[in-house]
Structure 1
Amino acid sequence: MRFFFKTDYNQDINLFRDSVDRFWYGLLLLALLGAPFVLEDFWLGEISYVLILSIVGIGLMLLTGYTGQVSLGHAAFLGIGAYTHAVLLGLGVPFVVSVFAATVLSALIGAIIGFPALRLTGIYLAIATLAFAFIIEQILIRWESVTGGFKGFPVERPEIFGYSITDDRFFYYLCFGALVLAVLAALNLLRSPTGRAFIAIRDSEIAAQSMGVNLAAYKTLAFAVSAGFTGFGGTLFAHKIGYLAPDAFNILLSIQLLLMVVVGGLGSIHGAIFGAIFVGSLPQLIAILRDYLPEQVARQPGLEPGLFGIILVFFILFEPLGIYGRWLKIKLYFSLFPLYKKATFKRQKTYTKSERFR
């Protein structure tokens, strides 16, 4: 059993808890850096997709997991980032400038959407963001002179530092570097006064307001930051799929993104990454599962969305803390074994946040 004692107030805001955490995260970093030398191109492509989903998941986690604002419209921000980046590349804008512009535009639109939604909470906020997703989808369809309408258009394939973005190994390192940057940015934001204000709003808006937190300003900022992270992930997502069309950013994708943070574990950066691994690998597992299912079941077109919905319901009912919450329980179990108490690992009653105060 390993005990951790805090002897300094700065330990509460350190990126790593102790030297043991630094060792394991360093080992994970080395493993990910060496992955392209031992894995085939197919698996590199799948891992790159998971890395992109992790960036998007971090953005949604900052809004939903840390600020308590539910969104069903993040596929729209992903589409805004992807289309803006692709259009600017087509106009000859350099890659780095295009990524920055797409991220900023996504953040600005997020702030614009977040401001009128300040008085909405819970299911009403989810409906408002869902309506925004439908509006963006229609804009992508109707604005044919820019987006190409239903036909869409291919994404430019620029060279960066002499390397083509179509090279699987280079694209993997690009996505990995972007994820590291996103994680560091999110962690530094969360340990700042702004991040603590987000968490205070999530826990109790009335208590946060009584302590001097400006609810309107911080909720709008949370939408802007979340949309910026999502738009940043959208720039890489555009190169991953290679061809942009409006049906790539539909309501099903928004539900998958929300499923990602709920299943991964709300209120944790680890949860966003665990959820991305789950959502990114589930389609491949379903494809393998089809070979063992009866033919009538395997041919059903709604098999994947149905499984997503069933899994979400089961996690909400039986593991509301998500995959990361279960991982923490497993670590605690082995650290206390054999002196653990069964009640420690027994599922406790959990209640949703009350909305009776207006």
Structure 2
Amino acid sequence: MQVIFRTSYDQDIDHLVDRGEKYRILAAIALALIAPLLVGSYLLSELAIFLVYILAGLGLMVLTGFSGQVSFGHAAFLGIGAYAHSIFLGYGIPFVVSLPMAGLLSGAIGAALGRAVSRMHGFYLAIATLAFAIVVETVIGEWEQVTGGHMGMQVPALSVFGLELGESWQQYYLILAVVIFFIWGVANLMRSPTGRAMVAVRDSEASARSLGLDTARTKILAFFISALITGVAGGLLAHLLFYLAPESFGVQDSLRLLLMIIVGGLGTITGAVFGAVFVTVLPNIIGVLKQILPDTVANAPGLEQLLFGAIIAGFIIFEPEGLYGRWRKLRLFFETYPYYKKSTFVRQKRYLKTERFR
């Protein structure tokens, strides 16, 4: 087992204290950089979509994983970012300006939503965000003059500083750079007073308020940052979809994002990555199940939503810390073997008495 001796206070806010974790992340970045040399254009497009889902999951992680506010309608911000970015490009605004503008517009709408629901918790907050997603999908479908309505909208070609990025590897490297930038930004955010305030509100809002934190402001800021990141992810996703329709950003996509962070591991950046891997592989697993199950069950409407709900419930009950939590326990098992404690690897039940005062 590796023992870390701290010699300065700066080590308390280091991104990666464990040397092995640094090597694993460097290896992952190196593998991502050489991926275009190893796979074809189709798999590279799938990897680009995988990166976009990492970014969208990271946005939801800021809201739900770090500040404790559940959202059942986060795909709405994906849609806002995708449509806003495409509309801005259609008016001739350059990509490097259009994408941040789409993110800021999405963030502003997220902040307005956060202001409206800042006093809601639990079930009521989930229903409010779900209603918001339905409203956004309806507005996109009915606003034909701007969004094209249910007929859809063509996404303009991706061009940066006059250079058209039509190849899969060019788009992949652009998306990879944006994803790495936002992962670095969120990692720094969680080391800052703002990030620590979000975690305090998540763990116990009553305790955070008693310490003098403005909990309403913290929640609104979490909504803004979360929606901004998700809106940027939507803008990048638009170029991979080529054609936008309101149905591409429905409730099922919101459920997929929620499934991603719960399965990956709430409250961790790595959890968003693990969750994106799971969500990317899940359609193939569902396809295999449909071949095994009887036709009456396999072709039944709502099968995917049922599986999503069952997986979320299963992880909440049996592994609340998600895949990343299980990975940490497995790593600890090998580091401490044969002196490990069996109780370390069972499901943990944690709660705060202060929660009853909400």
Q: Which category describes the TM-score, using the shorter chain as reference length?
A: over 0.9
SS at match of 1:189: helix
Report what 1:321 is aligned to. Answer: 321
The equivalences for 1:148-187 within 5 A come to: 148-160=148-160, 164-187=164-187
Deviations 1:151-207 (A, max 9, x none): 011101132256543311111111111110110110111100100100111111121
Report what 1:56 is aligned to. Answer: 56
Report what 1:200 is aligned to. Answer: 200
Instruction: Evaluate the alpha carbon distance shift between residue 254 and residue 352 of structure 1 in structure 2; reply closer, same or farther with a 3 A threshold.
Output: farther
Under a length normalisation based on structure 2, what TM-score does the superposition of the two structures give? 0.95
Under a length normalisation based on structure 1, what TM-score does the superposition of the two structures give? 0.95
For the residues of structure 1 that align with 2:48 and 2:301, how far apart are their CA atoms? 26
For the residues of structure 1 that align with 2:20 and 2:347, how far apart are their CA atoms? 29
For the residues of structure 1 that align with 2:84 and 2:52, how far apart are their CA atoms? 17
Report what 2:132 is aligned to. Answer: 132
How far is 1:301 from its partner? 4.1
The code of the aligned residue for 2:272 comes to: A
The code of the aligned residue for 2:356 comes to: R
Instruction: Evaluate the alpha carbon distance shift between residue 243 and residue 354 of structure 1 in structure 2; reply closer, same or farther with a 3 A threshold.
Output: farther
Report what 2:107 is aligned to. Answer: 107
Residues 141 and 150 in structure 1, CA contact (< 8 A), matched pair in contact too: yes
Instruction: Evaluate the alpha carbon distance shift between residue 169 and residue 102 of structure 1 in structure 2; reply closer, same or farther with a 3 A threshold.
Output: same
The equivalences for 1:328-343 within 5 A come to: 328-343=328-343
For the residues of structure 2 that align with 1:345 and 1:294, how far apart are their CA atoms? 37
For the residues of structure 1 that align with 2:284 and 2:175, how far apart are their CA atoms? 20
Report what 1:69 is aligned to. Answer: 69
Report what 1:302 is aligned to. Answer: 302
Identity of paired residues, percent? Answer: 49
The code of the aligned residue for 2:239 comes to: H
Report what 2:88 is aligned to. Answer: 88
Structure 1 unpaired stretches of 5+: none
Report what 1:213 is aligned to. Answer: 213
Residues 163 and 170 in structure 1, CA contact (< 8 A), matched pair in contact too: no
Q: Does 1:258 align with 2:258?
A: yes
For the residues of structure 1 that align with 2:27 and 2:348, how far apart are their CA atoms? 35
Report what 1:244 is aligned to. Answer: 244
The equivalences for 1:18-33 within 5 A come to: 18-33=18-33
How far is 1:253 from its partner? 0.8
The code of the aligned residue for 1:30 comes to: A
In the comparison of the two structures, how many residue pairs are matched? 358
The code of the aligned residue for 2:204 comes to: S
For the residues of structure 1 that align with 2:289 and 2:348, how far apart are their CA atoms? 33
Instruction: Evaluate the alpha carbon distance shift between residue 170 and residue 288 of structure 1 in structure 2; reply closer, same or farther with a 3 A threshold.
Output: farther
Deviations 1:121-176 (A, max 9, x none): 11111111111111111110111100111101110113225654331111111111
RMSD: 1.7
Residues 164 and 170 in structure 1, CA contact (< 8 A), matched pair in contact too: no
The code of the aligned residue for 1:346 comes to: V
Deviations 1:59-104 (A, max 9, x none): 1111111111111121111111000000111111101111011011
Residues 96 and 160 in structure 2, CA contact (< 8 A), matched pair in contact too: no
